[in-house]
């Protein structure tokens, strides 16, 4: 599923689809790259999903300090240096929280990290538009690849 921003998909809809575990991306999904600002509607989205008894974690390729500060802003566990698109960190949180890939949805702004990781682990995914045009150095390369047929292949999914 491809949407504009996180708040465009309601936690209710995810819940109806059987999702109980949401794995969020940080940079350009929760807050703009290089920025700690998290919009109120994003915070409210997280509070609502938690109230529905969904578990939420953030899985990011970012470094320790940014993860630590973000953890206090969004008030959910933030796992850093996840090395996405490797599904290893995702498998780890699935085991730790006790969820199956069927109950899990990855939400992020990048095809070659977030979506590819979700496909490799067999979870569903939601692709959001990046919050800002600024990207990290590695992401710039991936953004070029996102226009390729490989990206369309990764995106084409029954989930
Ligand atoms: Mg991102």
Question: Cα of 98 to ligand 1 centre, how many Å?
Answer: 25
Question: Cα of 25 to ligand 1 centre, how many Å?
Answer: 5
Q: Residue 21 is encoded by which pair of tokens?
A: 């575990």
User: How many Å apart are CA 20 and CA 54, to the nearest integer?
Assistant: 5
Q: What is the largest CA-CA distance in the chain?
A: 39
User: How many Å apart are CA 85 and CA 119, to the nearest integer?
Assistant: 9
User: How many Å apart are CA 90 and CA 61, to the nearest integer?
Assistant: 12
Question: Cα of 24 to ligand 1 centre, how many Å?
Answer: 9
The domains located in the chain, with CATH, are 2-155 (3.40.50.1000)
Tens digit of pLDDT at every position of the chain (159 positions):
889 999 999 999 999 999 999 999 999 999 999 889 999 999 999 999 999 999 999 999 999 999 999 999 999 999 999 999 999 999 999 999 999 999 999 999 999 999 999 999 999 999 999 999 888 888 888 888 898 888 888 888 654
Question: Cα of 27 to ligand 1 centre, how many Å?
Answer: 4
Question: Cα of 110 to ligand 1 centre, how many Å?
Answer: 6
End-to-end CA distance of the chain: 8
Q: What is the pTM of this model?
A: 0.94
Question: Cα of 6 to ligand 1 centre, how many Å?
Answer: 12
């Amino acid at each position: 599923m491809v949407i504009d921003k996180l708040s465009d998909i309601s936690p209710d809809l995810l819940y109806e689809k059987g999702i109980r575990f949401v794995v969020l991306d940080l940079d350009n999904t929760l807050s703009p790259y290089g920025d700690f600002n998290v919009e109120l509607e994003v915070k409210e989205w997280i509070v609502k999903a938690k109230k529905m008894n969904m578990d939420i974690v953030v899985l990011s390729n970012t470094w320790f300090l940014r993860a630590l500060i973000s953890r206090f802003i969004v008030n959910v566990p933030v796992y850093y240096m996840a090395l996405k698109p490797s599904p290893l960190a995702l498998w780890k949180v699935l085991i730790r929280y006790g969820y199956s890939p069927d109950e899990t949805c990855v939400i992020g702004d990048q095809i070659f990290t977030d979506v590819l990781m979700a496909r490799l682990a067999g979870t569903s995914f939601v692709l959001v538009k990046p919050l800002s045009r600024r990207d990290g150095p590695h992401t710039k390369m991936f953004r070029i690849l996102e226009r390729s047929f490989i990206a369309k292949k990764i995106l084409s999914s029954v989930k």
